[in-house]
Structure 1
Amino acid sequence: MMMETDIQTLGEPGFAGDDSVLPFDVDGLDVRGRTVQLGPMIDAILARHSYPEPVARLLAEAIALTVLLGTSLKFEGKLIVQTKGDGPVDLLVADFTTPGNLRAYARFDEERLAAAQAAGMTSPAELLGTGVLAFTIDQGEYMQRYQGIVEMKGETLEAMAETYFRQSEQIPTLVRLAVGELFDRDSDGNPRQSWRAGGIVVQFLPQSPERMRQPDLPGGDAPEGIEEPFHNDDDGWAEAKALVGTVQPGELTDPEVGAERLLYRLFHERGAKVYPPVKVFDRCSCSRERLGEVLSGFSAEEISDSVEDGEITVQCEFCSTAYKFDPAEFGG
C-alpha cells in the first residue's frame, strides 16, 4: 500500500526520467492516471529488429500503451496487448510482466507494406486493417486468464483502448500516445537517430458511481434519422478531458519536458499529486530451459525436420536471441 510519505505534490524535488511510469491523481477533478516517457528501452527494442519506420511507430505506441496499463496491476502476473488484423502489419504484441519487464514484437508483410507506403497509406487504420485488439491478463497457472477484446474498425490504438475501458471496465478513460525520433550526435560527432515514445492515461474515478455515467453506446439498429440521446459529461471529467486535450505529441516524447513538468502544466491548479515512479525494462522472458521443454514435446520426426547443420537453432521472435541444441538431447 502506498504510504502518505511517498506522495509528492507537484513542484517538489523529484524526477522520474526515461523508462519510468509516473502514477498521479488529481483530487480536485476525481481523476487518476499514469504518464510515461520511453527512451533507451524502446530504442533498443525497435533497433533490434530494424523495423521499417511505419511499423516501428505502431509498435512503439503499443508498447507505451502496454506499460501504462501493465504498471497498474496489483498482483504478480502479465498483461498482453495484441492486435491481429488483415492489414500489412497483421500482428503487434506487447507483453508486460510485473513489476516492470517488457518485450514486444511486430509481424508484417514486406511486399504489402511497401505497396502501402508507395500509395501513402500509412495510418494505423490502413496498416492494421480490420480485426481485433485484445487485452489479456494472466495471473498465473492457478488463475483463469481474463481477456477483453475490441474490434479494430479504422481507429487509432488510443481510441480502441478508450473503447475497451468503456465497454469492459465501464470507466471513463482518456488515452494519448505519441512516438518521436531524436536526432543528435555521438561522442565522435557522428549523426545518431534514436526512438522515443510517450503516453498518458487518465481515468475518472469519483466516489459516487452515478457521476461516472456516460451516454450509452450506439446500438446499431436505431431507425435512420433518429438522433442518439445526448448526455453531458460530469464537470470534473469534462475539465480533465479539456486539459489533456491540450497536450501536444511532442510534449509526450520531449526529454526536456519530462513527465513531472507536463503534469504540472496540466493539473497544478487542481492539486495534482505524484507517486513513486515504476521503472520498466527491456527484458525478455525466453530461456534455454523453456525452449528445451517445448522441444521435448516434439515427435522424433519433428525433431529430425528441425535439424540443420547438425543442430537445432531456435530464435526468440521478441529478443532475437538464438539458442542452439544438440538433437541427441531429444533422441534425435
Structure 2
Amino acid sequence: MTENLLSSMGLDRPETGDDAVVPFTLEKLDSRGRVVRLGHALDTILSRHDYPVPVARLLGEAVVLAALIGSSLKFDGRFILQTQTDGPVNLIVVDFDAPDGMRGYARFDQDALVKAAEAGKTSSADLLGNGHLAMTIDQGPHTERYQGIVALDGKSLEMVALTYFQQSEQIPTQVRLAVAQMSTKGDHRPRWRAGGMLIQHLPAHGGAAMADLPGNGDFDDPRMSDPDFVEADGWTEAKVMLGTVEDLELVDPDVSPERLLFRLFHETGVRVFPPKALVERCTCSAERIEDMLANSFSDEERQEMAVNGEIEVVCEFCSTAYRFNPNHFHQ
C-alpha cells in the first residue's frame, strides 16, 4: 500500500494477516462492516476431524459467519451458531468464545453424503437441507440467554444470515462467505483458508458519527417496518460493491482485508479500525468433564460407562480424550 492509501483509510499500522477480524465504516454510504480472514485457526478446526471436503467447506462457512457476528460482542460471553437439519450434514455447532476464541464441529451421514455427491448436490444449501439455524448469545451463568431461530429451507448460510438479521435485528445486512483449500510452497497438503465480509446499513439516528466500530446489534431500525420505506442510495451502492467480491479475493493471503476494502470502496472512502485477533481455542477441560460425570450420573451409570476400568470422554470439538477412574467419584 502507498502512503496515500494508508492515509485515506485512517491506517497507521501494517496490513492485517490471517486469523483476524477487521472492522470498518463506510460513512458516505451510511454503512458499517467487518472483514474476517482465517488461516491456521480454521485449518486446525477442519483438519483434526479429517472431514470430507464438502463437509469441511460447509463447516468453514459456519465458522466464518460465527466470527463475523460473534466478534461484535461487547462483553465476555459466547455466541453459539447451531444448525439442525434433515440434510447430509445434520448438525453443525460453532462456538465463538468472546473476545477471540473459536471452535466448531459437524456431524454428517456418510451414506447420505455419498448419494448427494453422486447427484452433484454438494452446495451448502444441498448439504444443509431443511431444518433450523439457531444463534444464541450467552452472557454467563447469571444472565438470560438470547436466541434467534430461523428456518433452513434449502438456502445457503449467506441467505439464511440475511433472514436472521431481517427478522431478529431488523438491520439491513449483506454477507459474503468463502472457503477454499490452497497450497503454498513447502506445504505437504493443501491448507484450509476462509474469508468473509458483513456490511450493515446504519440507523437513521446519527449512527455514522459513532467513534468506534458499531456492530453490537443493540438497536432496531424503525424504517424496516415502514411500508413506504425506500432503500437509501448509499446502501444500494454498498450492496452492489459487495456483490462484486470474488471468492478468491476473500481467501487470498496476498490480498489483505485493507487491500480488499480499498479495491471495493476507494471511490467513496472507507475507514478501517484496528484488527482483533482470532484463535482456535476449545473450552473443554478435565475439570468440567469430571464435574459433569459426578453431577449428572449415578455410580451405577458411571460403572456401566467404564471400559477396561476407565471412562473415556472424547471432546467432539477438539478430539481430546479424557480418562477417569469410575471409582474415583464415590471415594
Query: TM-score scaled to structure 2, two decimals?
Result: 0.89
SS of 2:55's equivalent in the other structure is helix
Asked if structure 1 preserves the Cα contact closer than 8 Å seen for 2:33 and 2:199, the reply is yes
Aligned equivalent of 2:223: 213
* 1:64 counterpart letter in structure 2: V
2-structure distance, mates of 1:197, 1:288: 31
* Distance across 2 between alignment mates of 1:241 and 1:172: 10
Indicate the residue corresponding to 1:80 in structure 2. 80
Deviation at 1:43, TM superposition (A): 0.4
In structure 1, the partner of 2:213 is none
Q: Please report how far the alpha carbon of residue 270 of structure 1 lies from its aligned counterpart in structure 2 after TM superposition.
A: 2.1
The letter of the residue matching 1:203 is Q
Within the alignment, does 1:198 sit opposite 2:192 as a pair? Answer: no
1:45-84 equivalent positions in 2, closer than 5 A: 45-84=45-84
2:170–2:221 CA contact under 8 A, matched in 1: no
Question: In the alignment, is the contact (CA less than 8 A) between 2:130 and 2:154 conserved in 1?
Answer: yes
Following superposition, the deviation at residue 13 of structure 1 comes to 4.1
* Contact preservation (8 Å) 2:15, 2:258: yes
From the superposition, tell whether residues 293 and 11 of structure 1 become closer, same or farther in structure 2 (CA, over 3 Å): closer
AA aligned to 1:323 is Y
Q: Does 1:42 align with 2:42?
A: yes
CA distance in 1, matches of 2:14, 2:185: 28
Pick from 288, 291, 296 the counterpart of residue 289 of structure 2: 291
The Cα offsets for residues 274-309 of structure 1, whole Å up to 9 and x where unpaired, read as 111111111000000000001102112210111001
**Matched-pair contact (CA < 8 Å) for 1:21–1:278:** yes
For residues 134-161 of structure 1, give each alpha carbon's deviation from its aligned partner in whole angstroms, at most 9, with x where no partner exists: 1000001111000000000111101101
Q: Match of 2:92?
A: 92
CA distance in 1, matches of 2:150, 2:13: 41
| 1:249 pairs with one of 247, 250, 254 | 247
- Structure 2 match to 1:3: none
* Gap runs ≥5 in structure 1: 1-6, 217-228
The letter of the residue matching 1:60 is G
1:258 corresponds to which residue? Answer: 256
Tell me what 2:314 maps to.
Answer: 315
Deviates more, 1:138-147 or 1:123-132: 123-132
The RMSD of aligned alpha carbons is: 2.0
1:77-112 residue CA offsets vs partner (Å, 9 max, x unmatched): 100011110111000111001110111000001111
Quick one: which of 255, 269, 272 aligns to 2:270?
Answer: 272
Deviations 1:229-254 (A, max 9, x none): 89642111001111111111110000
Letter in 1 for 2:252: D
1:181 positional shift: 1.1
Contact 2:179 2:194 in 1 (8 A): yes
Q: Matched residues in 1 for 2:81 and 2:115: separation?
A: 27
Aligned residues: 311
For 1:106-145, list aligned pairs within 5 A.
Answer: 106-145=106-145
Residues 1:166 and 2:163 aligned together: no
SS at match of 2:48: helix
